[in-house]
Each structure stands twice: as C-alpha cells, then as structure tokens.
Amino acid sequence: MADSSDPIKLTGDMTPVAQGVKANLDALPKATNKLFHTFLGKKHADALRYELLVAAQTEADIKKISSGKATFTNGEIVEKEQSDDIADTVSTSFLQLKMEEESENLHGCMREAIRDSLSRNDDVSPTPISEKFFSRWRSEAIHISDQEEQQLWGKVLSEENQKQGTFSLSTIDILRNVDKKMAGIFSTICKYAIFDGDIILGDDYEVDAEINYDAFVRLSELGLISMSIPVKTSHNIPTLSFSGKKTHFLEIEPYLVLIEAKEEEKLSYLYARLTTAGKEIRKVAIDVDEDTIQDVCRLLFKIKSLENVEKILYGKYDVPAIDNNYEIGILQNITREMLNDNDQDESLENSK
C-alpha cells in the first residue's frame, strides 16, 4: 500500500495516475483504488486496460468508443465499418460531437473525484458505491462542462466513495438543477450554518450585501433550504457552562463560538434551514476555517438583538460529549473593533 503522505501527483491529463498503477492497481491509496474499481471494473486485468483508456496516451481510443467508431471487446479496440451514405455521415458527425462532449465532461468529473480522493486522509468504508448511485451520478456528470461544477460533482462521488449512503438519489436530482451561480451562492450561505443546519440571517434576511432574501427564495425553490415567507421564525441561542457561568454558544463544526453577554439576557436569531439535500451537499460545498468563523462573527455583530455583545470567543473542539460538554482547544477572541479595523485595512489595501 502506498504511503498516504506521499500521494501520486495528479495533472490534468491523468498520465501520472496511469503510470502509477500499470504495475499494480493496489499501489493506489484505498479510497482511490476503490474509485478505480467503480470506474473501471473489479477484474484487475480489464481494469488496467480501462484505466489506460482514461489516461491521455489513449485518449484517441476514448473518442473512438464514445463516438461509436469502435467498441472495446475482450480487452481490444475493435473498429466499426464506416458508411459511405452522406446522410449517415452527417448524422454520425453530430452524434460524434455530442458523444465526445459527454465523454470529456465525464472524464473531467471522474478526474476531480480522483483528485479529491488522493488528497483525503480519512478512513474509507469498505462498502462499495451502489451501482444505482453511480449510474445516476454518471448520467448527470456527462452534462457537466464547467470546471468548478465538475469539482463539485467530483467531490460528491469522492464523499460517497468514503462512506456509502452519504448522498441520496434525490439529492443528485436536486444538484443537477444547481447552476454555477447558485452553487456559489449556496457555498457562501453554508458558512453561516450552525448546529443541525440552521442558517443565521441578518435583520434584513441576508448574510451579506450580495446574498439577500431573493437568493434565499431561489435556493428554497431549488430544494436546498426551507424557510417561511416572509421570514418570521427565530431561535434562542442556547447556553452552556463556561468558566463557571452560563454562556451563549453556537456550534459550527469543528468550531465552537462563545458569545459573551449578561447571563439573564436571551439572545436570538432569524434563520432559514437546510433541507436534507442541502445538508448533504454542504459536506462538499465548504471547508470551515477561521475566515469562516470571522464572517459569522461579522454577521452576528450586525444583528440588532445582539447589539450589546462586544466580545465573542471561538476555538476548535474535538468530539462534543453528552449534554454540551466540549473539549475546546486554544480560544481566540474577536471584538467589533477588531473586525472594523480588519475591514478598514482590507479597504485600504484594495484601494491601492
């Protein structure tokens, strides 16, 4: 087994991957090897040949097969006889263009799935991806031409490869209707998802200047979030015991955000809620980091019901225990003044 700390380098043409598995398909990390079994079949003799078909040096064979000019039979490329009829030739040309485009799209999504798989170090489930899921994924992936969208579709398959059942078939049906613009908007709002999928909203039902109420309505229509129209629902921010007193907190895995306020105060926020499909897609739409937490704090400081809050603490936790008992690492604090200073610094930098 290859050392996961020294992954096979992956370029756009996939040639290094091909070269890396010519001798032994098992040289790949477990998760990526599992993906190749899904893509190429379980018999190593045929899998190696199929894998070479995916690689750049046999791209001509891919195009012949996808255009209908040849078939892959018993490990060999078999050329088909070409018709001299003009009508057949024109029809075949259009079909060839369509199939070549679909082949390129599928190739791109598969490449992104492998790229994501090679970068992971979490445990992979031994359960294979279901044939029904992979068939549905593949039937939609052939239409995905934009590289950013291919990255998303690749991550979906990679995530499903890590743990079979992460995504439902209905989520695939919803995802196919999400274009590049809405995917970007959804990724942004996912930064503000707390606990089990609540999206914190500002007083004007927005998360920032560019993503407002209308964007949330569109995401609701797509089936990614649920919300009341107009937004009237709100939640009280829960509390836990911290340094001997009740402290309001939000969980944005893997961070815990502590809001310092008077113990008797009740703090609340407006919210929309991720649907089941929204929660599933969020897993591949965003990586939570400190910038994410600072954006959340920036929104919290703008909410009128939190106008008396001057200081927020945040830190990573390991595994939350029962009854809101968390083991938190080093805590960082952030204030209104700190965020304002950062915003001013960024404005000055952008104006240069």
- Max alpha carbon distance in the chain (Å)? 86
Phi-psi map region of 78: left, alpha, beta (phi>0 left; psi -120 to 50 alpha): beta
The tens place of each residue's pLDDT in the chain, 352 residues long, gives 334 334 434 444 545 545 554 445 555 677 877 777 777 665 543 555 455 545 433 556 655 655 556 666 665 667 766 555 555 554 556 667 778 888 889 889 988 998 899 888 888 888 989 999 999 999 999 999 999 999 999 999 999 999 999 999 999 999 999 999 999 999 999 999 998 799 998 888 888 878 888 888 899 999 999 987 655 567 889 988 888 888 899 999 899 999 988 767 889 888 889 999 999 999 999 889 999 999 999 999 999 889 888 889 999 987 655 566 777 878 899 888 887 766 655 543 444 4
Same domain, 251 and 321: yes
Same domain, 146 and 215: no
Same domain, 140 and 283: no
Same domain, 160 and 186: no
- Domain that residue 89 falls in: 15-167
Please indicate, yes or no, if residue 175 is contained in any of the structural domains.
no
Please indicate, yes or no, if residue 3 is contained in any of the structural domains.
no
Same domain, 280 and 204: yes
Number of domains the chain is built from: 2
Same domain, 230 and 288: yes
Tell me the C-alpha distance between 178 and 285, whole Å: 12
Same domain, 19 and 109: yes
Domain boundary pick from 167, 199, 227:
167
Please indicate, yes or no, if residue 259 is contained in any of the structural domains.
yes
Q: Mean pLDDT, the chain, as a whole number?
A: 78
Same domain, 97 and 189: no
Same domain, 159 and 185: no
Of 232, 258, 254, residue with least CA distance to 245: 258
Domain boundary pick from 135, 167, 199:
167
Domain boundary pick from 139, 167, 195:
167
Same domain, 191 and 339: yes
Tell me the C-alpha distance between 42 and 321, whole Å: 41
At 12-59, the pLDDT tens digits run 454 554 555 444 555 567 787 777 777 766 554 355 545 554 543 355
- Identify any residues that bridge with 79 across adjacent strands, giving them in sequence order: 70
pLDDT at 240: 86
Same domain, 113 and 196: no
pTM of the model: 0.72
Same domain, 129 and 247: no
Please indicate, yes or no, if residue 303 is contained in any of the structural domains.
yes
Q: How far is CA 56 from CA 63, 75, 211, 339, in A?
A: 11, 18, 41, 49
Please indicate, yes or no, if residue 4 is contained in any of the structural domains.
no
At 272-285, the pLDDT tens digits run 899 999 999 999 99
